[in-house]
A and B are shown apart, each in its own frame.
Chain A
Amino acid sequence: MSKAPTRKWTWFHRFGSPKWFYHFSSGLLPWLWLAVALCLVAGLVWGLAFAPADAKQGNSFRIIYIHVPTSFLALAGYYLMALAGAVGLVWRIKLAMWVLRAAAPLGAVLTFISLFSGAIWGKPTWGTWWVWDARITSMLILFFLYLGVIALQQAFQNEEGANRASAVLALVGMVNIPIIYKSVDWWNTLHQPATIKMTEAPSMHPDMWHPLLLMIVAFYLFYALVLILNLRCEILRHESRSQWVRELCKSRS
């Protein structure tokens, strides 16, 4: 009687085991590297060299192949971080908290790249580096939210407290993100409306849109790769005294 529910949950707990995750990701990493390299090279070459130039913006529009994927991941990364924090708070899974630690700087950097590439794109198209437009402003606020989580993490002396505090903050931020986006949307000005919508056909020409899709996939894979690499560092750092890490070190050296 009592067997069934426990077995049902073992996958979940096994996934939360640092050792299991480390070995599992060791098998996964080569394939992920390969996929990232293929998609990134193919997408970049296709987008930068073969996609047709934009009728109005010329070649400067090609920065879209960096700008849009990073913006996607900046936002998705925040949700991933907050959800990892929630899992860590509720089930006290250490690995989830380490995901939060690994995802925060990664997301902040992606948000920065998104803002920066947007500024570079804005100069030739709008004639200005910066405008206080709704979507740019919300990305800036997202950047501040990331910085807040990182700052809170670093302020605590003990790591357990740092993780839990930043998880709470990330969750509060996650609840707030839709509200911030909606409120900032009130002064909707210069930025074009979203090009890619799930519900409609894209307003871009397929020749431009297909490489963009490939680049988005490439960036998702890239994000996963960097997150896993970061996470493996966290695992080794925290588990450095455990038996399996010592054996790993011995077998390597």
Chain B
Amino acid sequence: MKVYNRLFSRELLLAYRNRGELANPLIFFLMVTSLLPLGVSPEPGVLSMIAPGMIWVVALLSSLLSLDGLFKSDYEDGCLEQLMLMPVSLYLVVMLKVLVHWLVSGLPLVVFAPLLATMLFLPDAGYLPMVSSLLLGTLSLSFIGAIGAGLTVSLRRSGQLLSVIIMPLYIPVLIFGASTVRNAVEGFSYLAPLLILAAFTCAAVAFAPLAVVAALQLSVDE
């Protein structure tokens, strides 16, 4: 248990030391959102109509942006190999790393989202569903994306490839996340899509690390 605590604080410390990198997805989130009124229309009516889906799409893209570095530095300086040699469960190590990654990149997105929702004139009924669906959704985005990060960690230019292989797997999260917000805005019950999203997140948290472990092992073998 002590090992996992140490690993947890190590990951947090590393994230803190590189806090500049953590800001980038947030800035991206903000910038893309401000492109929307410029590109589509600044009309409140139009924006509030597309807001539920747009916030979700942009959140998805910015979470993709932060994933590339998930295992990269550990792979490059050899820490990853050392972690694999340690007599601890790699499954739990991966889970820990992804959880910390979510804490420092997914959670800020969720906190940030209401601000952007205001800029896009999201109707009031949409705020709580948006925050709760993003809370669950970003967690599963981090875990699913970790599979891609593990598969591409040994490649030199992995960013674009990561997006190409992971985006199709993000689609269920996007559908249920966005429909949670849309249902709420249109005055329907949003519990059903939110619960399905929760179930999906549970499955992703439990099973994705298995695939990540396999991916990391083959990447280290390279």
A residues sitting closer than 8 Å to B (CB atoms) are 89, 141, 144-145, 147-149, 151-152, 155-156, 158, 160-161, 164-165, 168-169, 171-173, 175-176, 179-180, 183-184, 186
CB-based contact B164/A179 at 8 Å? no
Cβ distance B94 to chain A, nearest Cβ, rounded Å: 14
CB-based contact B175/A184 at 8 Å? yes
Q: Which residues from B are CB-within-8-Å of A173? A: 168-169
Q: Which residues from A are CB-within-8-Å of B167? A: 144
Cβ distance B108 to chain A, nearest Cβ, rounded Å: 27
CB-based contact A168/B211 at 8 Å? yes
Cβ distance A74 to chain B, nearest Cβ, rounded Å: 14
Cβ distance A75 to chain B, nearest Cβ, rounded Å: 14
B31 at the interface (CB under 8 A from A): no
Q: Which residues from A are CB-within-8-Å of B169? A: 172-173, 176
CA distance A169 to B161 in the complex (A): 12
Question: Which chain A residue lies CB-closest to B169?
Answer: A176
Question: Which chain B residue lies CB-closest to A141?
Answer: B168
CA distance A225 to B164 in the complex (A): 30
5 contacts between A and B (CB under 8 A): A141-B168, A156-B154, A158-B222, A164-B221, A169-B147
Could you say which of B165, B200, B214 contacts A179, with CB atoms under 8 Å apart? B200
CB-based contact A147/B164 at 8 Å? yes
| Given A155-B152, A168-B214, A161-B221 contact (CB < 8 Å) | yes
Could you say which of A147, A161, A183 contacts B171, with CB atoms under 8 Å apart? A183
Q: Which residues from A are CB-within-8-Å of B105? A: none
Q: Which residues from B are CB-within-8-Å of A148? A: 164-166, 168
Prevailing SS type, chain B contact patch: helix
CB-based contact A184/B151 at 8 Å? no
CB-based contact B151/A168 at 8 Å? yes
CB-based contact A180/B171 at 8 Å? yes
CA distance A173 to B207 in the complex (A): 13
CA distance A158 to B221 in the complex (A): 11
Within 8 A of A (CB), among B181-216: 196, 200, 207, 211, 214-215
CB-based contact B164/A176 at 8 Å? no
CA distance A186 to B147 in the complex (A): 26
CA distance A169 to B151 in the complex (A): 8
CA distance A176 to B176 in the complex (A): 15
Question: Which chain B residue lies CB-closest to A171?
Answer: B211
Question: Which chain B residue lies CB-closest to A149?
Answer: B165
B23 at the interface (CB under 8 A from A): no
Question: Which chain A residue lies CB-closest to B163?
Answer: A148
Q: Which residues from B are CB-within-8-Å of A149? A: 165
Q: Which residues from A are CB-within-8-Å of B175? A: 183-184, 186
CB-based contact A180/B168 at 8 Å? yes
Q: Which residues from A are CB-within-8-Å of B88? A: none
Give the one of B158, B161, B168, B175 with max A CB within 10 A.
Answer: B168
